[in-house]
Structure 1
């Protein structure tokens, strides 16, 4: 399996298919992916955005899935900007995706976000975040390619280290409105896309690059949805 963080694989894969994905967080750039929705990815005419990704007839749901197979919920071992800084991945993503932030030191993070604002890409809502009360749950961290979906698409055959890396890879994580995250659950694109249609292009391109980076296939119904969403991207 590839050992370079998917954060960097995204950019390389995009160049390979002449798709200018502008949402990847580069070293030192902690701007929100949600903020990048104002400058969505561009796709060159005639490019198959799913090039190199296997298409299977349908998702076969595996009832042997268990969250523990992907390790602890969050760790501090990702190699992306902010990784190995004393803060777990959840706190790194909150810091990356929220704006107007204040900070507090907690046991698992010396610079945890205490308060902030999320401009939610899934619903286009503005959501206040306050650590330690109910508004903390109003912002959740979503796996763009859900863990249970990845399991069904082949992650069940990965080793524990690969699954843990996938679960904590910032390129597959996004701070979103809590209810939208709950509504999505472990759904594939064929059965759920963000209510904010303006985000469909970016969601699809990011989703595709996670599949490509981890050599996962896509189910045929979702392949059609992702191609349709990519078709809404501006032309390169």
Structure 2
């Protein structure tokens, strides 16, 4: 049986990182680009308020889906080598894993956008135009399918596939890896340039520029890693814990939640 991080220890780490009630600090590493709010490194304060949230002696029940508690069940290990990683290790790009006749990219576009117009004859599958309220930046983006315009809205793997590969996915079978690559729980339609800046970063190196979405973002990462038995590094665990310190009652999203627009779960 693999060693697990004690929930109480994780909660204690959160409190220590938060200064035992005094505001802590977290350096958010992300590269600013056109339209970004700032080009400087951002300092974000977070932490438990004394008397609020689950106490150290009373950890939340992972069965209830509390994100802090579920985080405490994830194995903590170093990052494995990237050797052997390729996008094809996660199956065909945008496969129709639910076999409803519509690929996952178009399904996520339709889920996360508003006022969609679909290509005729595709049974409301192929999205031609729409409007995205971007969860990562808070901006509203107009989407038009086509060369030179489609990339304005990209589909992000919340847990990047390269990150998943280095934290347990290489040990999984091909079918399960294809599920990770196409699972709606792990997919969000977002601003293209912002997604490119994220790359394959985990929570220790990248968080959404819109601070109001960070709790939802890391809770979704925890949900995906728990679902597929992927591990976290110590730095990643601590970064997620710091974010969840400001929202200790946050639940991890479920597969049913993954059917809802990502922005609605902020």
Correspondence for 1:102: 117
Match of 1:156 among 170, 177, 183: 170
Q: Does 1:60 align with 2:76?
A: no
SS at match of 1:72: coil
Segments of structure 2 that go 5 or more residues without pairing to the other structure are 1-59, 251-266
Pairs within 5 Å for 1:182-201:
182-201=196-215
For 2:103, the equivalent position in structure 1 comes to 88
Size of the aligned set, in residue pairs, is 191
Q: CA deviation digits over 1:137-180, x for unaligned, max 9? A: 10000000011111000111111111111111000000000011
Alignment CA distance shift 1:218-1:234 (3 Å): closer
- Trace 1:1-236 onto structure 2 (pairs within 5 A): 17=62, 48-56=69-77, 58-77=78-97, 83-105=98-120, 111-233=125-247, 235=249
Contact 2:204–2:239 at 8 Å: present in 1 too? yes
TM-score (norm 1): 0.75
Compute the displacement of 1:50 (Å): 1.0
Aligned to 2:261: none
Is contact 1:49-1:230 (8 Å) kept? Answer: no
Q: Which runs of 5+ in 1 are unaligned?
A: 1-14, 22-46, 78-82
What's the RMSD between the two structures over aligned residues?
2.2
In structure 2, C-alpha distance between the alignment counterparts of 1:61 and 1:201, rounded to whole Å: 29
Higher strand fraction (1 or 2): 1
Q: Deviations over 1:32-76 (max 9, x none)?
A: xxxxxxxxxxxxxxx5341211111x3234132111111111111
If the length of structure 2 is used for normalisation, what is the TM-score? 0.66
Instruction: Check the 8 A contact 1:106/1:112 in 2, yes or no.
Output: no
- Between 1:127-136 and 1:47-56, the stretch displaced more is 47-56
- In structure 2, C-alpha distance between the alignment counterparts of 1:218 and 1:19, rounded to whole Å: 21
